[in-house]
């Protein structure tokens, strides 16, 4: 049952990912990405990681894809200026193939050999909002606060770069 469920979801995720690459129109690519993100969120739920699943929906499927769509609408649906040279396309294809094979090999190896982190992970309840909140405010207090400083830096930087330099 679990395996069947996983296979269906995995097929949907791969279909979404393929749609991103294959679509001729950028808007379809972005929408396919949305499918991929949504399915990934469901996969996270099956791994007992509810919080990550919700964040995946809110941040990636919500904010990031919407951002993509905004940009696509702003610069126009099809991109006439970006003519990819066939040579560059071939290089990109080979690079993607190598990276994909390496990633697959690594994953397969991890499944066969097992890793200390993989065997100790996925405890029920570990991925709940409560557990993550508790970890953030106890064990990972300093990284949490540093993340706020990081966001502050990003905000100041964005304002400094974007503000009109008048007066």
Task: Say how many C-beta atoms besides its own lie within 10 A of residue 112's C-beta.
Answer: 7
Minimal distance in Å, beta carbon 78 to another protein?
A: 25
Residues 33 and 68 sit within 8 Å (Cβ to Cβ): yes
Our CB check for another protein shows the closer of 7 and 115 to be: 115
Minimal distance in Å, beta carbon 150 to another protein?
A: 5
The residues that touch another protein, with contacts defined as CB under 8 A, are 106, 109-110, 113-118, 120, 134, 137-143, 146-147, 149-150, 152-154, 156-157, 159-161, 163, 165-167
Residues 23 and 29 sit within 8 Å (Cβ to Cβ): yes
Minimal distance in Å, beta carbon 121 to another protein?
A: 9
Residues 122 and 47 sit within 8 Å (Cβ to Cβ): yes
Please state, in angstroms and rounded to a whole number, the distance separating the CA atoms of residues 22 and 28.
Answer: 9
Our CB check for another protein shows the closer of 24 and 164 to be: 164
């Amino acid at each position: 049952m679990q395996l069947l469920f996983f296979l269906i979801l995995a097929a949907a995720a791969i279909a979404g990912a393929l749609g991103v690459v294959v679509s001729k129109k950028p808007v379809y690519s972005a929408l396919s990405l949305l499918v991929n993100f949504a399915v990934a969120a469901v996969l996270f739920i099956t791994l007992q990681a509810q919080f990550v699943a919700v964040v995946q929906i809110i941040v990636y499927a919500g904010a990031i894809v919407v951002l993509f769509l905004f940009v696509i609408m702003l610069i126009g649906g099809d991109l006439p200026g970006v003519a990819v040279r066939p040579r560059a396309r071939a290089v990109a294809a080979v690079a993607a193939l190598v990276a994909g094979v390496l990633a697959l090999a690594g994953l397969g190896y991890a499944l066969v050999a097992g890793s200390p982190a993989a065997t100790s992970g996925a405890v029920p309840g570990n991925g709940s909002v409560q557990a993550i909140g508790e970890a953030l405010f106890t064990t990972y207090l300093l990284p949490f606060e540093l993340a706020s400083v990081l966001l502050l830096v990003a905000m100041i930087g964005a304002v400094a770069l974007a503000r009109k330099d008048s007066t």
